[in-house]
Structure 1
Amino acid sequence: MLEPQPPPLEEQPTQTYSPTTSSDEGVETAVEQRSSRDDEPRSILEIYTPKILTSMETVADEEAENVPDTMLQIFLQSLFPFFIGGCGSIGAGLLLTYANKELSLIKEIPEFLVLMPPLQGLRGNLDMTFSSRMSTLAHKGAFAEEGILMRVRRNAAVSEALSIVVCLVANLISLFIVHITPDLRDSQSNEFANSTTVSNDTDTRDLSNIESSMFLTASSILSVALNCAICTTFLFTIVYYAWKHDYNPDNIVAPLGASISDMLTIGSMLFFCYLLRPYAGFSSALPNIIISISICSIPVWIMLGWKDEMAVTTAKQQCLTLVFASIVSCLAGLIQSEGAMTYPNYPAYQTLISGLAGNRGAVLASRISSYLEIHQESELGWKQRAIPFIYYRSDCSEAQTARLLLFTALPFQMFFVGISTALSFVYEPVELDWKFFLGYALVVLVQSFTILYLAQLIVFTLWKFGLDPDNHAIPLLTSAADVCGCGLLICLFLVLDKAFGCVKRIE
């Protein structure tokens, strides 16, 4: 049975509050009726439907993006990864400095120092782009779907194929650079000939140019293959557990991937070089076999990842970018080899300054890439991004993250420089003059300012041209960080040497 409807609310209270007589009584009554209608109780659907829709949009956005809103969250989540990444860069730098000072391998095979930056960059690029793709998948909710482990295996297989291809290209480029730089080969070969003799126990012989290149190529292929297996497993595990515990993987995995790759690349490269050196001294058959098997394995790795369309597309798009990044990093290797020949402590600081700056740029690039992938729009346009000072002064969350990374770069760098200096006393102290530390701080600020600016500009440009920033931005960025770090650091050593004579030289 229908219940009687209450009379409209505007007919009940208006008589009580309206004036008794007035010429404007009709107007006042209409106003009071509109006011009472605004205060009229509405149904539950009318009240809560907009709120429900808004909350649904918010929840969906949080599940897709999962990016912390506050700078404090970003800082706290990235603090420990940056610390671990800095420790990895310190270890890589000290290990490379020790090899440069003590091991005859560096003097015997000059391509080693030229090859290390592109090789480190190769593994760091593949690891960081892999982790960036995994982070984007986590933001999109793909980790909750079935078959994610198979997708990861296929991506790892494609990454293995790319590692071998780009490793071969990097070796060819380093060989070309050494042979068009006669001063590099002549100075190191003469030093090695004057300071070493052939041992009767091992009966090894000096390697020729082609043999040394084949030996170094075989060692580097084994190194990148081992690193690929270790790093992809480790990085996927980190991304997965970050996703499970509601952390943003973009803040965590990029620093870990780059620095762990640096340490593993240098350590495994030295290990395989000394493992293969006796055999290469007798015959070049073993390096040739390793290179032939690795080339034949490329189609196998591609077939394993062929069913994953995203992985194959990524490989096609990323191959040329990785080759270009390796060419740029070989320029950094040439600068590093020239610097290491004159300044024995140069490699320790080069690895640290390039690694930490590349890590910060990768974090910013990964965050911007995830945001653009999800929202399909940018917070800033060309005008705000093109001028660095306008970009850094913007109020959007992206610019706030860039400022946070910029302002914390110097304290992090100087902290790790202090640790590196303290650890070096176990073997031999590195640079100790206060003028060096002051100049180093200035170099850090200039490099961090430049790399973070390039990070946002590269990501936005790639996205505007329809290219996936996850596949292209980080290789370009880390190679730029290598060249920028090597160039600024060698300028610092040269200025301090010529003006004050306060850095150590090789006499």
Structure 2
Amino acid sequence: MNRIKSNSNSRMTRTSECSSETEVNSNAYRLVANDTKPPDIKYGKENSWFAGVQMFLSFLLAGFGMVAASLLLDVVQHWIVFKKVSEVYILVPALLGLKGNLEMTLASRLSTNAHLGHLETSLGSLVMGNLCLIQCQAVLVGFLAASAAVAMGWIPKGQFDIHHALLLCASSVLTASFASFVLGLIMIGVVVFSRKLNINPDNIATPIAASLGDLTTLALLSWIASLLYKSIGTSVIFPSIIIIIGAVIVPLCGYIAWKNNFTRQALDEGWVPVVSAMVISSAGGLILDYTVSKYKGIAVYQLVINGIGGNMVAVHASRLSTAFHTGQKEGSVISSTTKLLLIMVVPGQLIFVYTIGYLRAGHTSMTPTFIFFYMSAAMLQVFLLLLISHYMVMWMWKFGMDPDNSAIPYLTALGDLLGTALLGVAFRILDIIDDDDADLGE
């Protein structure tokens, strides 16, 4: 009888140890193996006014970066590669959304680690693991984004061009790989310096990640695609070499990320959200491909409305995730954050819209009717995104998923889809009511 009781106790002990080990491994970013005490949390209470100033300034900086990306898209849409290989339009939202997702989830993870005190104790491990993680994700999902663009461009036309397919794939893989490395280093620097300056990285890191990601990725994609277009019909060797190198990078960086305690869970959980987000953004790309052909003025505003909406919902999700990780009462934190973000939509969007108008970009006049419908689309987009974010992050935390790894890709992709669709509806309404804008359909 004692032997039975002893065996039972032994099994219970092993079960408890396995359960405890699983919990530690799944939360390695929070309590790594050598931690012997709870991490030091320096960002407990935060003044709403100070937080609002931080967020608004970061939105302005990020917004002007997105305006620059929008102006760049307005220019490159006239390049020969965009005209001859129309699938590049489908690739733009998917690839930009991908890069924004990877950099913003990186920023969110690093912000949480900053709150938990890991930057001081494990910075080298954090940097190596996260750079390898986003490199692995970027190259693989860049290839998937190109494949989706080829399929979506090929199916309606009923024809397949191997040269166009190789151009899209090589351009996407090379752009994603190079941009990931550069932007990853920048985001690590942003979080580290914000920590040193006692600024909450949750308020500034994700908007900066998104804005730099859009501008850098679009510039690289346009330049690389243009260079590769010149070799179409003459050689397939160069794009093939790029694709092969990318295929080697994925398992190598994936192995390093898997061996790192801080990124193992992200590598395990991060694929489904990123791939799903890419599919959702590709749907937005189809809408963009249609609307750009009908309304040339929409291109310059598409990145702004999508970027601002994505930035705001990313900050919302990042702060809510941090509240869960650090044991704060998320209700008060998110209530004030939601109000601040909604208040920022109108002045922020007006600044960027009038900046575009002042620069005479976009082929669209700044009429009161246009401003009304544009702002209505932007407000509705952000309201829906914040509502979805609140319930999504809470649901993920409830079911044991880390929102830092999973929430932002879904939310920013939905932001792209909603923003593109609502902006298309706004331009359609303006066309129907005849807004006296002679350039609207040019």
**Mapping of residues 358-437 of structure 1, within 5 Å:** 358-375=310-327, 379-380=330-331, 396-424=332-360, 429-437=363-371
> What is aligned with 1:179?
154
Contact 2:258 2:267 in 1 (8 A): no
> What is aligned with 2:84?
108
| Shift in CA distance, 232/242, structure 1 to aligned 2, threshold 3 Å | same
Contact 2:104 2:206 in 1 (8 A): yes
Instruction: Give, as a single letter, the amino acid of the residue that structure 2 aligns with 1:431.
Output: S
Partner secondary structure for residue 232 of structure 2: helix
The question of 1:498 aligning with 2:406 is answered no
Instruction: Give, as a single letter, the amino acid of the residue that structure 2 aligns with 1:251.
Output: N
> What is aligned with 2:33?
none
Instruction: Give, as a single letter, the amino acid of the residue that structure 2 aligns with 1:405.
Output: L
Q: Which of 162, 165, 168 is matched with 1:210 structurally?
A: 162
The question of 1:92 aligning with 2:73 is answered no
Distance 2:298 2:42 in 1: 41
Contact 1:345 1:431 in 2 (8 A): no
Q: Which of 259, 280, 301 is matched with 2:232 structurally?
A: 280
Contact 1:66 1:139 in 2 (8 A): yes
Partner secondary structure for residue 424 of structure 1: coil
Distance 1:233 1:172 in 2: 28
Partner secondary structure for residue 486 of structure 1: helix
> What is aligned with 1:138?
114
Query: What are the superposed Cα offsets for residues 144-184 of structure 1, whole Å, 9 maximum, x if unpaired?
Result: 21x412321121111101101111111111111112333xx
| Shift in CA distance, 103/68, structure 1 to aligned 2, threshold 3 Å | farther
Distance 1:285 1:506 in 2: 41
> What is aligned with 2:98?
122
> What is aligned with 1:66?
43
Distance 2:304 2:374 in 1: 11
Distance 1:424 1:459 in 2: 40
Deviation at residue 378 of structure 1 after TM alignment: 5.1
Q: Which runs of 5+ in 2 are unaligned?
A: 1-36
Instruction: Using the aligned pairs only, state the percent identity.
Output: 29
**Mapping of residues 210-359 of structure 1, within 5 Å:** 210-359=162-311
> What is aligned with 2:9?
none
Deviation at residue 129 of structure 1 after TM alignment: 0.4
Instruction: Give, as a single letter, the amino acid of the residue that structure 1 aligns with 2:379.
Output: L
Distance 2:308 2:419 in 1: 10
Contact 1:111 1:213 in 2 (8 A): no
Query: What are the superposed Cα offsets for residues 348-367 of structure 1, whole Å, 9 maximum, x if unpaired?
Result: 11100000011010001000
The question of 1:170 aligning with 2:145 is answered yes
> What is aligned with 1:444?
378
| Shift in CA distance, 65/210, structure 1 to aligned 2, threshold 3 Å | farther
Contact 1:65 1:374 in 2 (8 A): no
Distance 2:436 2:274 in 1: 38
| Shift in CA distance, 480/342, structure 1 to aligned 2, threshold 3 Å | same
Contact 2:323 2:333 in 1 (8 A): no
Contact 1:89 1:352 in 2 (8 A): yes
Q: Which of 372, 396, 414 is matched with 1:480 structurally?
A: 414
Q: Which runs of 5+ in 1 are unaligned?
A: 1-59, 187-207, 381-395
> What is aligned with 1:150?
125
Contact 1:82 1:255 in 2 (8 A): yes
Deviation at residue 263 of structure 1 after TM alignment: 0.4
Contact 1:78 1:252 in 2 (8 A): yes
Partner secondary structure for residue 41 of structure 2: helix
Count of aligned pairs? 405
Contact 1:67 1:248 in 2 (8 A): no
Q: TM-score, normalised by structure 1?
A: 0.77
Distance 2:399 2:384 in 1: 22
- Which stretches of structure 1, 4 residues or longer, exceed 6 Å deviation after superposition? none
Distance 1:68 1:359 in 2: 23
Q: TM-score, normalised by structure 2?
A: 0.88
Distance 2:315 2:275 in 1: 22
| Shift in CA distance, 61/448, structure 1 to aligned 2, threshold 3 Å | farther
> What is aligned with 2:398?
464
Contact 1:332 1:486 in 2 (8 A): yes
Contact 2:126 2:262 in 1 (8 A): no
Distance 1:270 1:144 in 2: 39
> What is aligned with 1:14?
none
Distance 2:82 2:367 in 1: 27
Instruction: Give, as a single letter, the amino acid of the residue that structure 1 aligns with 2:57.
Output: F
Distance 1:151 1:366 in 2: 18
| Shift in CA distance, 143/346, structure 1 to aligned 2, threshold 3 Å | same
Distance 2:42 2:326 in 1: 7
Distance 2:156 2:209 in 1: 33
| Shift in CA distance, 441/366, structure 1 to aligned 2, threshold 3 Å | same
Deviation at residue 119 of structure 1 after TM alignment: 0.3
Distance 2:42 2:319 in 1: 10
> What is aligned with 2:58?
81
Distance 2:60 2:399 in 1: 35
Partner secondary structure for residue 430 of structure 1: coil
Distance 2:343 2:195 in 1: 27
Distance 1:412 1:500 in 2: 27
Contact 2:320 2:333 in 1 (8 A): no
Work out which of the two has the higher radius of gyration on C-alpha atoms and give 1 or 2.
1
Partner secondary structure for residue 166 of structure 2: helix
Deviation at residue 222 of structure 1 after TM alignment: 1.1
Instruction: Give, as a single letter, the amino acid of the residue that structure 2 aligns with 1:401.
Output: T
Distance 1:499 1:67 in 2: 52
Deviation at residue 62 of structure 1 after TM alignment: 11
